[in-house]
Amino acid sequence: MKKLYGGIDIHKDKLAGCIMDKDGNITREHIFPSSKKAVERFPREISSSDITIAIEACGMWRGVYKVLTELGYNVKLANPKKPTILLVRKRPAR
C-alpha cells in the first residue's frame, strides 16, 4: 500500500478527519463524534506503517493523540495558526 497522510480537526463535540495519498487524492473524509471508539474507527483498515496522522494542537488534543499512538499510529501535532508540524518532546527529569 502506498503512503497515506491523515489529518484530524478537533472540536468539543465532533472531529473532522481526512485521509489522502501523496498526490492529494482523498481516500476517506468523515465528521465523527469526539469519542474514543470513533477515533479508533477513523483509520480502520489502514496499517499504522502506511499512514502519518496530523492532529490539531488545541486544548483537547491529548485524548486523540493517546488513542492513536496506543494503536501504533505515527501522530504529529500541527499548530492551528501555522502550517508546520510541532514536535512532542518529554522534558528531561531533573
Domains of the chain: 4-77 (3.30.420.40)
Residues 27-59: pLDDT tens digits? 999 999 999 999 999 998 899 889 999 998 888
pTM over 0.85: no
Count the Cβ atoms, other than its own, within 10 Å of residue 33. 11
Q: Is the confidence at residue 66, as pLDDT, over 50?
A: yes
- Mean of per-residue pLDDT scores for the chain: 85
Percentage of the chain modeled with pLDDT above 70: 84
